[in-house]
Structure 1
Amino acid sequence: MKTLDVSADKSTGVTVVTLDRPQRLNAIDLTMHDELRATWRELRFDDTVRAVVLTGAGERAFSTGLDRDAVVPQPGSPYMADDPLLRVGPKSNDLWKPVIAAVRGMACGGAFYLLGESDFLVADTTAAFFDPHTSYGMVSAYESVLMAQRMPYGEVARMMLMGTAERLCAQRAHDIGLVSELTEPGAALAAATECATVIAGYPPEGVQGTVRALWAAKEAALAAGFAQAPHLVALGNLPAERQTELFHGRRAGAFRVR
């Protein structure tokens, strides 16, 4: 079963990529991982596509990150741990066409791999951002590095360290610059598509060069942060069974909205 819906409007040059597992809050399983990678690679070769909008199906979530039921095979060597989300974003697949994220509902944890590689975010007032890693005895490494490029340090530190106890509301996300435009409920996709249509109307060489230049400004910091991430995860993560215990013990807990 396909986990993505890809809709191209040849008249505008805009393609909408929708994470399509609403029954699982658009969590990324290994099938979606493979489909995302294939989609980004295909869009590289389609010159009729000049801008992309990335969104999630349903009203409850953009994405809640890696599906907890996904079984990720790992090499026996501690030097070759596999993180399946490291290659799900457009930039990590060498797609240098603009990608605008349209966020409705929850965006948390591994969703930041996708948001971190989008060029800007549009969200509606139902959007909420948080990272559950620390609550479950896990290190937020790659997610923290990506979000540190998009938010003031104190804001991203608070979000990552507070875990499931607190969610960053759409208005606050807009106030601090994580979200560039805030819409009424259900209107984020239309607003993001409107922006994408404008951008797609410009000469693609200049647009893609600008995307590449903007990303180049962040690459050194990302590379330095990512280089530390595997060691921090290996040292700081609790054993998988303890993570599962904490997950089931905390997932129904109360949280505050900031």
Structure 2
Amino acid sequence: MSIDFDLADGIATITINRPERMNAMDAEHYRGLSEAWRRVRDDNEIRVAIVTGAGEKSFSAGADIKSFLTAPTGLDEMWLTQKDQLLNRGLEVWKPVIAAVNGYCLAGGMTLLMATDIRIAAPHATFNIAEVKRGIVPGNGGTQRILEQLPYPIAMEMLLTGDAIDAATAAQHGLINKIVPMDELMATARAYAKRIAANAPLAVQAAKELAVRARDMDRNTGFRVEALVNRLLQCTEDAREGPKAFAEKRPPQFKGA
């Protein structure tokens, strides 16, 4: 049982490794996942991250019901808003995150999925946010992101019934990018990651932040912030390396500087 972390060629792979519990997460695993996201955020060697679950059955079944619903935390923790922040609960990680969905993506697993940027799924993947069936509502952004990412009636059907959709339906509605055979899942995720990691890292992070923050800015403010960020990027070594490599017909060697 663990949150496994691997780093190679600028790509971090985070694996929720608790297959005997459908990769459901108790407090210990949530803390481990929080630490993993902070490392992705803070380590300059990391350019992109992949998150997946161990085995071939489940991405994550979300919070472990036995440890969370039967033993809720004290009300004092309601105001510890910076404690063990997660990707899907307030932690700002501007490096791109790819989800490789290898099976059940349920409740908190679905909430985690909605905080990622690119999503690849195996054909047998299943998606739901069924917390209303347990007497609670989706946490960690579950009620906040669903309407941004799915058409209103589809989102509300999932939210209010708690019923699941299959991978084909998820792809049809744009919740995931593509479906690939299970034995190609991680290779496909890594192929996306390599393409992203080959780009200028400061520009990639800026592009993600601008796109995400655009949801909370009026259009004219967004245009202005975009122009300001582009002006900053023009002063970087990478902004000089990109055109130079293009002119010399070679792959660019970006440094993130």
Q: Does the pair score TM above 0.5?
A: yes
User: In 1, distance between residues paired with 2:174 and 2:117?
Assistant: 13
- Per-residue deviation at 1:133? 1.5
Q: Is 1:138 equivalent to 2:136 in the alignment? A: yes
Report SS of the residue matched to 1:62.
strand
* 1:30 aligned residue: 27
Q: Which residue of 1 aligns with 2:232?
A: none
One-letter amino acid matched to 1:147: I
Q: 1:112 to 1:219 in 2, by over 3 A?
A: farther
The 1:211/1:76 distance shift into structure 2, 3 A limit, reads closer
Query: Which TM-score applies when normalising by structure 1?
Result: 0.75
AA partner of residue 105 (structure 2): A
Distance 2:126 2:31 in 1: 26
2:170 is equivalent to residue 162 of structure 1: no
Number of residue-to-residue matches in the alignment: 213
Secondary structure of 1:156 counterpart? helix
- Aligned in 2, Cα 1:91/1:213: closer, same or farther, shift over 3 Å? farther
CA contact (8 A) 1:149 1:218 kept: no
Mark the runs of 5 or more structure 2 residues left unpaired by the alignment: 218-257
Determine the structure 1 residue equivalent to 2:86. Answer: 88
1:103 aligns with: 101
After TM superposition, the structure 1 = structure 2 runs for residues 1-258 of structure 1, keeping only pairs within 5 Å, are: 3-9=2-8, 12-70=9-67, 71-75=71-75, 80=78, 87-89=85-87, 92-140=90-138, 142-163=141-162, 166-219=163-216
Matched to 1:45, the amino acid is D
Local SS of the residue matching 1:92: coil
* Partner Cα separation in structure 2 for residue 90 and residue 167 of structure 1: 20
Supply the distance in 2 between the matched residues of 1:87 and 1:127 (Cα, whole angstroms). Answer: 27
In the aligned structure 1, how far is the partner of 2:215 from the partner of 2:147? Answer: 10
TM-score (norm 2): 0.76
Say if 1:76 and 1:37 are closer, same or farther in 2 by CA, change over 3 A: closer
Cα distance in 2 for residues equivalent to 1:167 and 1:8: 33
Q: Is the 8 A contact 1:104 1:186 kept in 2?
A: no
> 1:152, CA displacement in angstroms?
1.1
**What CA distance in whole angstroms lies between the structure 2 residues aligned with 1:168 and 1:84?**
33
Is this contact kept in 2: 1:144–1:156, CA < 8 A? Answer: no
Question: 1:130 and 1:86 mapped to 2: Cα distance?
Answer: 24
Task: Say what the alpha-carbon RMSD is for the aligned residues.
Answer: 2.4
What per-residue deviation string (whole Å, max 9, x for no partner) do you get for residues 200-247 of structure 1?
011101100011112112357xxxxxxxxxxxxxxxxxxxxxxxxxxx
Could you tell me which amino acid in structure 1 is paired with residue 186 of structure 2? L
Rg comparison, structure with higher value? 2
**RCO higher in structure (CA 8 A, sep ≥6):** 1
Structure 1 residues 158, 21: closer, same or farther in 2, change over 3 A?
A: same
Give the CA deviation at 1:69.
2.2
Residue 135 of structure 1: how far off its partner (Å): 1.8
Distance apart, 1:185 and its partner CA: 2.4
**SS across alignment from 2:66:** coil
Q: In terms of mean alpha carbon deviation, does 36-45 or 86-95 score higher? A: 86-95
Is the CA contact 2:4–2:17 (under 8 Å) kept in the aligned structure 1?
A: yes
Q: Shift of the alpha carbon at 1:151?
A: 1.1
Q: Deviations over 1:123-176 (max 9, x none)?
A: 11011101222222223463132222211111111112222xx32010111111
Query: 1:188 deviation in Å?
Result: 2.0
